[in-house]
Chains A and B, each alone.
Chain A
Amino acid sequence: MADIDTRHGVMLYLDAVSVSFSGYQALNELSLAVDEGELRCLIGPNGAGKTTLMDVITGKTRPDSGSVFLGQDINLLDHDEAAIARLGVGRKFQKPSVFPHQRVWDNLALALVGHRSPWQALRYKPSTADEDRVAHLAKLIGLYDLAGQAAGGLSHGQTQWLEIGMLLAQDPKLLLIDEPVAGMTQQETERTAELLQSLVPDQTVVVVEHDMAFVRSIARRVSVLHEGRVLTEGSIDAVQTDARVREVYLGDAC
């Protein structure tokens, strides 16, 4: 994996990114910078462009214009999804996606960094270090006792954790996490908050979330997206008292 140059403290930098789908402007000259080691939350009403933003960063969607950099000098627009993942960008989908027919252990082992080409995968033998790493991750996400079970049998919350564990197994520098606590119980939500907070500042985390209580519990900085651009940025308190934000998204109820 190439080292990411973060000498100026910036992990992810988007400049004037625009994406349109048959006339619909999903992202409109969006610019965003995320510092190394930061835990950033992205909020915004439906259709604000949060998922499209993730798609652009991970190579799933090509922007019409603008630039996307990882660190100082890696132009993410030059790479496809798999290459971007290998550069150290991990992504958790909104809909949990794990491998249901394989054991929890194998799900994590498959995500372990390295051995990505077919030939390397064919010759791969897990080392003791690999086994330890999988065991460590399984404990971290609280699924060590279930490691031998097929992932298809996990509960919704456990599936979300497994996917986060798989992301961590990739050894990413930047994690993009789409709605991690949707459908979780209060207790599961709290554990997820702890887990995400334990990742920084070694890793940089960007979370898209609707649950404002959860956002309040984890985020130091919040970016509010509206109509494909960043409306405002700041602490959760500053953002929640911003008149424009209240108007477009939060409503008077908050």
Chain B
Amino acid sequence: MSSSPGNSPFLHRATIAFFLGLALWVPVANLLLPAESPLALSSYSVSLLGKYLCLALLALALDLLWGYAGLLSLGHGAFFALGGYAMGMYLMRQIGTRGVYGDADLPDFMVFLDWSELPWYWWGFDSFPFAMLMVLLVPGVLALVFGWLAFRSRVTGVYFSIMTQAMTYALMLAFFRNEMGFGGNNGLTDFKDLLGFDLHADSTRCALLVVTALTVLGSYMLCRRLLATRFGAVVTALRDQEGRVRFLGYSVASYKLVVFVLSAMLAGVAGALYVPQVGIINPGEFQPLNSIEIAIWVAVGGRGTLVGAMLGAFVIAAVETLLTAQFPEAWLFALGALFLLVTLFLPRGLLGLWERRGHG
């Protein structure tokens, strides 16, 4: 394997320690320590950390695809949003008669639109296992169909990026329509509980954070193990010399397809974990801008390093939280400037800095 910093044993152990530490520390700091303790963590901060973790998972998903297979998807927000919608639909069904209209069969927005019965594609979302299956399957199948068409025709490089961008834009327009049956521009919100646990309770928030931290850690380990196999070597090889891989007898399209589908599923899981923690999913998540931002996280953190991608998402999301609170108009300029600076001076991202230091 390559000697990318993401593979250094120290960084690997530090990453594991970070996620495990977060999973242990957050519940203690939020639930057990008294609020006046300097180490205590507010419920607001717990939600914020949970949100960052989801974005880190999304960045990890894109890094697997872009950093290793060399395919820059500028539509990964779509897979994230679809996973989020699948979770949101389950949460909507959990509301039951507690909605504004108290209708046991239909979500509020359907009652409002005078719909008489639940559309077929909402069937089954009362069941948690079914909804979780859809979190994986809907992004996975979309990536399978889209990727099959693209890779079979050998669409690569910037053309692939543009097509994925068009895909998320088309989905955004579709989801904005009330007739689609996903709540139009309001999306899905006013969730009450998940598996019977009150979503507004601190204990539920902490449990969600723990689940998210462990999921991100598990996904990171999965990606790492995958990349350490011959499969991973083929994927990295096709990023660098696609023609050589093809003339060695590997079916390049099927390798790309496997990575694309896996990456889309990870993005879907990130979306599904995100929605209960932020309390809403709407078509804004499909905005092309969101997908571009994911690529910036990965580039800033260090493409093709896994750890760097997650770090980039964390750092930028945290800076965004600080800046949008203080200077809301300045944020996009700051993001653009950061991206430019990193591209110009840190082509290997924040982790490249670490590597430079490490090699002295």
A residues whose Cβ falls under 8 Å from a Cβ of B: 58, 81-83, 85-86, 90-91, 93, 97-102, 106, 109-111, 115-118, 121-124, 150, 163, 166, 170
Contacts and interface: CB of A to CB of B under 8 A. Distances in A.
30 contacts: A81-B246, A82-B247, A82-B249, A82-B252, A83-B249, A85-B247, A85-B248, A90-B247, A97-B243, A98-B241, A101-B2, A101-B240, A102-B1, A102-B236, A102-B237, A106-B1, A110-B230, A110-B248, A115-B230, A116-B249, A118-B234, A121-B250, A121-B255, A123-B229, A124-B229, A124-B230, A163-B244, A166-B244, A166-B248, A170-B249
Contacts, number: 83
Contacts of B226: 122
Interface string B213-251: 000000000000010011101101100110110111111
B45 interface: no
Nearest to B4: A101
Nearest to B252: A82
A85 B233 contact: no
Contacts of B258: 118
B102 to A, nearest CB: 51
A121 B2 contact: no
Given A97-B241, A97-B244, A150-B2, A102 B251 contact: no
A166 B233 CA distance: 15
A116 B233 contact: no
Contacts of B2: 101-102, 150
Given A93-B243, A102-B2, A102-B237, A116 B251 contact: yes
B250 A100 contact: no
Contacts of B3: 150
The interface centre, meaning the residue of B1, B226, B237, B249 with most chain A CB atoms within 10 A of its CB, is B249
Contacts of A111: 248
A242 B132 CA distance: 75
B254 interface: yes
Given A81-B247, A97-B243, A116-B250, 9 more contacts: A83-B249, A97-B241, A101-B240, A102-B1, A106-B1, A118-B258, A121-B234, A122-B231, A166-B244
Given A102-B1, A150-B2, A82 B250 contact: yes
Interface string B247-269: 11111101100100000000000
Contacts of A123: 229
A97 B231 CA distance: 19
A150 B254 CA distance: 26
Interface of B: 1-3, 226, 229-231, 233-234, 236-237, 240-241, 243-244, 246-252, 254-255, 258
B63 to A, nearest CB: 15
Contact of B230 (A91, A101, A122): A122
A90 B244 CA distance: 10
A74 to B, nearest CB: 15
B76 to A, nearest CB: 21
A110 B243 CA distance: 14
A124 B231 CA distance: 8
A93 B236 CA distance: 20
B316 to A, nearest CB: 26
Given A116-B251, A122-B229, A150-B2, A99 B246 contact: no
A121 B230 contact: yes
A117 B254 contact: yes
Among A90, A91, A102, A118, chain B packs the most CB atoms within 10 A around the CB of A118
A58 B249 contact: no
Contacts of B254: 117-118
Query: What 6 pairs between A and B have smallest CB-CB spacing?
Result: A85-B249, A121-B231, A86-B249, A124-B230, A101-B2, A97-B244
A121 B258 CA distance: 12
B153 to A, nearest CB: 13
A138 to B, nearest CB: 17
Contact of A110 (B233, B247, B251, B255): B233
A82 B229 CA distance: 21
A100 B229 contact: no
Contacts of B252: 82
B259 to A, nearest CB: 9
Contacts of A98: 241, 244
Contact of A99 (B229, B230, B231, B240): B240
A121 B251 contact: no
A118 B255 contact: yes
Nearest to B2: A101
Contacts of B248: 85, 110-111, 166, 170
Nearest to B3: A150
Instruction: Count chain A CB atoms within 10 A of each CB in B230, B231, B233, B241 and give the residue with the most.
Output: B230
B237 A110 contact: yes
A56 B251 CA distance: 18
A177 B156 CA distance: 27
A121 B241 CA distance: 18
A11 B31 CA distance: 76
A163 B244 CA distance: 9
A98 B240 CA distance: 8
B5 to A, nearest CB: 13
Given A102-B236, A121-B230, A82 B244 contact: no
Contact of B229 (A86, A91, A93, A121): A121
A91 B251 contact: no
A163 B229 CA distance: 22
B247 A58 contact: yes
B71 to A, nearest CB: 15
